[in-house]
Amino acid sequence: MSELRKAAEDLQDPRDSRGLMDVQQMEAEREGGASPWSSSSSVSSSYSACAVSLLHDAAPSMVTDLVGFLLLKYHRKQPTTRAEMLSIFLREYQDHFPAVFSQASEYMQLVFGVDVKEVDPGGHWYVLVPTLGLTCDGMLGDGQSMPKNGLLVMLLCMIHLEGERLPEEEVWGALSKLGLHAGREHFIYGEPRELITKVWVQEGYLEYRQVANSDPARFEFLWGPRAHAEISNLQVLEHLHRASRRGPSSFPSLSDEAASDEEEEA
């Protein structure tokens, strides 16, 4: 276990770091497989189910290796091509590429908060960028760690769906189902309390404050000023739709609300 974690943290060549997703799957399974969000919202339930399934399902080795390769490209801020990926991983299995690439892209987006975007359909060129257009790359400190934006995007979406504020106890209830606990190091996200109550608060993505007139004191999370500046309601809605694999018509009330907010801001 520790050797696989070290390989993942070092962001080695994917052919030397197999097991990245297997370690994550083992971490999640050790904590149980319940859905992390208790929200009654159909959007939240669908999104959470998709995220948790990726954390719990063992990835085939081809997907595991491709995710490692894409993480390496993201770390180096380098684009890639379909031809490059095929030449390294799937030379003899080109017919499997669409399925493998699709699953690897889902891991990148929901676990690491990284979008794999095609910028040249003719040449099949791809760039790796932070989900929701965030301006932070999610690699804290010296930039050698795993991208952590997947957790930040989850929290921002949860807050958005729950009416702009989310009780701290609901946050920890959700994160515990993903194997994240205060005071315990996670091999991707580090120590989560430090991350969500200090680091992202200082960076302006989250606001962490005491609930007014609460005794004993209770706390809640809200979007911070940087989140408001960088993310629109429509971006969140589109991300939720992609994650849940459903179209906007499935959630007309949310779609109408987001569109109305965008018109007012314009």
| Per-residue pLDDT tens over the stretch 218-249 | 999 999 999 999 999 888 888 888 777 643 33
Chunk the chain into consecutive blocks of 10 residues (it has 266) and report each block's average pLDDT, rounded to whole numbers: 37 39 38 37 46 49 86 93 86 81 89 92 92 86 76 93 91 88 89 94 96 91 96 88 54 39 51
Show the domains of the chain with their CATH numbers: 1-266 (1.10.10.1210)
Instruction: Report the pLDDT value the prediction gives residue 21, as an integer from 0 to 100.
Output: 41
Instruction: Report the pLDDT value the prediction gives residue 135, as an integer from 0 to 100.
Output: 92
Instruction: Report the pLDDT value the prediction gives residue 92, as an integer from 0 to 100.
Output: 73
Rounded-to-integer distance, Cα 127 and Cα 153, Å: 19
Instruction: Report the pLDDT value the prediction gives residue 263, as an integer from 0 to 100.
Output: 54
Instruction: Report the pLDDT value the prediction gives residue 48, as an integer from 0 to 100.
Output: 47
- Please list, in sequence order, all residues whose beta carbon lies within 8 angstroms of the beta carbon of residue 80, skipping any fewer than 6 positions away: 69, 70, 73, 125, 126, 128
Instruction: Report the pLDDT value the prediction gives residue 114, as an integer from 0 to 100.
Output: 94
Instruction: Report the pLDDT value the prediction gives residue 2, as an integer from 0 to 100.
Output: 34
Instruction: Report the pLDDT value the prediction gives residue 60, as an integer from 0 to 100.
Output: 63
Model pLDDT for residues 15-48, shown as the tens digit of each residue: 333 334 433 443 344 344 333 333 334 444 444 4
Confirm if 139 and 146 have CB atoms less than 8 A apart. yes
Instruction: Report the pLDDT value the prediction gives residue 223, as an integer from 0 to 100.
Output: 96
Angle, helices 168-176/149-161, rounded to nearest 10 degrees? 130
Instruction: Report the pLDDT value the prediction gives residue 94, as an integer from 0 to 100.
Output: 79
Q: What mean pLDDT, rounded, does the chain reach?
A: 74
